[in-house]
Amino acid sequence: MTSLPMSTVTAESSGTWTLGDLPVRRIGLGAMRLPQTGTALVADAVPRDRGQAITVLRRAVDLGVNHIDTADFYFSPLRSANELINSALGGPYPGDLVIATKVGPRRATDGTWTTAATPEELRGQVEENLRQLGRDHLDLVYLRVMRPGPVSEHFGALAELREKGLIRHLGLSNIRPQHLDEARRIAPVVSVQNPYGLGLNPAQGELVARCGELGIAFVPFYAIAGAAGEQGAVDGEIPEVAATARALDATPAQVRLAWSLAQGPHLLAIPGTGDPEHLAANVAAGALRLTERELRTLDDAHRGRAARAG
């Protein structure tokens, strides 16, 4: 690939996918880091500068991003991702903007994690997301699965809210394959969001493929961080990733995003950042096209790294 100035590349270069009936560009934005400077949701997270967060959100839309992933439990002591999104983009929101949110986990106002929501409590979480975002319905709501057991009661509660018009489409997050089968017997599933990245969870490839066969989007989190998970990008990059990045005049993060998108047209990336320069670099990764040889090299590294870690 011939390197392009990041300022000239928009999210359109990544292609599009339709979530139910909502077309989105395949490079989106994860909102978890907007309220804070750290990479983990902890009670003592350092709040991010509000102006910087607002700038990132508006710049993302300027760069063609029309898929933002958030949750009402994305907050720091002073900032809420949903409130930032509403302030930056609401009144009115861009007509093509798709906002996805998640319910299930719960955090107290002091930032500590509490027990997961019961099926009866999910409506309150949906309504809280509606209030914070300033919307009369939610485009896409994921049930974030917190335990290995059945999901039918929780997903059924969300399906009822979908029937009432509070939710347009439903998704699943942090699931096992059987959860997808169970949920699809209740209501359509348009998207699955699971931890997956180069060097992380190679067995997840079976679920990635199955989602593609079913026409369901697969949205990996930790696509950039890989096995580092919540630690975010760390020193000691996989040598094959670093070498590919040097050859393409790209960053390792861009190579990781390009590899994720290459796993199928239904792969949607939602890299999170609160930094305008990182945002532009992430969006530019949508224009990066890996050759078959580069993909084979990275695929081998993916399987080998994950096998050693496991």
- In DSSP notation, the chain reads -----GGG--GGGG-EEEETTEEEESB-EE-TTTTBSSSS--TTPPBPPHHHHHHHHHHHHHTT--EEE--TT-B-SS-BHHHHHHHHH-SSPPTT-EEEEEES--B-TTS-B-PPPPGGGHHHHHHHHHHHHT-SSEEEEEEE--SSS--HHHHHHHHHHHHTTSEEEEEEES--HHHHHHHHTTS---EEE-B-BTTB-GGGHHHHHHHHHHT-EE--BSTTTGGGGGG-S-SS--HHHHHHHHHHT--HHHHHHHHHHTT-TTB-B--B-S-HHHHHHHHHGGG----HHHHHHHHHHHHHHHHHH-
Residues involved in catalysis: 74
